[in-house]
């Protein structure tokens, strides 16, 4: 998702990105690394973990009522990836 939102040239590049998130307390500056999915998964495996679950979460119905525009966007363009892993 970050690849398209930030209009990057190379999906396979790992890079540090800056963003602003709207919160209940106002805008917050956030820095994070964008990586291709293969880099995320292989790093977890190479560190000796077994991936038990990989999830791209969907917003709940209560969120649809509270934020219909954002709900619609997140049901088509997820912004988070959760990995449950355990050490071998």
Q: 6-41, pLDDT tens digit by residue?
A: 888 899 999 999 999 889 899 999 999 999 999 999
Let me know the angle formed at the C-alpha of 75 by 7 and 40, rounded to the nearest 5 degrees.
55
Q: What is the pLDDT of residue 1?
A: 76
What is the percent of the chain where pLDDT is above 90? 74
- pLDDT confidence of residue 48: 97
**CA gap 64, 39 in Å, rounded:** 32
- Classified as helix, coil or strand, 77 is coil
């Amino acid at each position: 998702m970050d690849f398209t939102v930030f209009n990057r040239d190379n999906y396979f590049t790992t890079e540090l990105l800056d963003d602003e998130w709207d919160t209940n307390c106002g805008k917050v500056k956030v820095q994070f690394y964008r990586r291709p999915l293969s880099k995320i998964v292989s790093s977890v495996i190479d560190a000796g973990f077994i991936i038990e679950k990989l999830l791209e979460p969907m917003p709940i119905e209560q969120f649809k009522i509270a934020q219909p525009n954002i709900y619609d966007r997140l049901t088509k363009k997820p912004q988070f990836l959760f990995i449950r892993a355990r050490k071998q």
